[in-house]
Amino acid sequence: MTTATVTVTNPSGIHTRPAAMLVQLAARYQCEFTIGLHGYVINGKSILGVLTLAAEQGAELELTFEGSEEAAACAAMVAFFESGLHE
């Protein structure tokens, strides 16, 4: 299991477009992926799950990966968040 904590830096938070890009990125890797926020844990490969978090700017998310490509998935997801969700 690989974990990382990331902060949402995008001023608009995680809205529809970055949520879709996040799910598409996660789907490239053969591993389970969950996101935790305020005691909720959702499937990071589900766009509805990601949107229900309503993560705003400044939110700290706990990312958890488990599976054969967990390290690569974690690195890619951390880079995605560090880029400001490509916005």
Q: What is the 8-class DSSP label of residue 56? A: P
The residue type found at 86 is H
Is the Cβ–Cβ distance between 61 and 35 less than 8 Å? yes
Active site residue 86: no
Task: State the Cα–Cα distance between residues 7 and 67, nearest whole angstrom.
Answer: 23
Catalytic annotation, pick one of 15, 34, 42, 49:
15
- Alpha-carbon distances, residue 17 vs 22, 60, 79 (angstroms): 9, 19, 17
Tokens of 53: 């978090």
**Catalytic positions, written as ranges:** 15
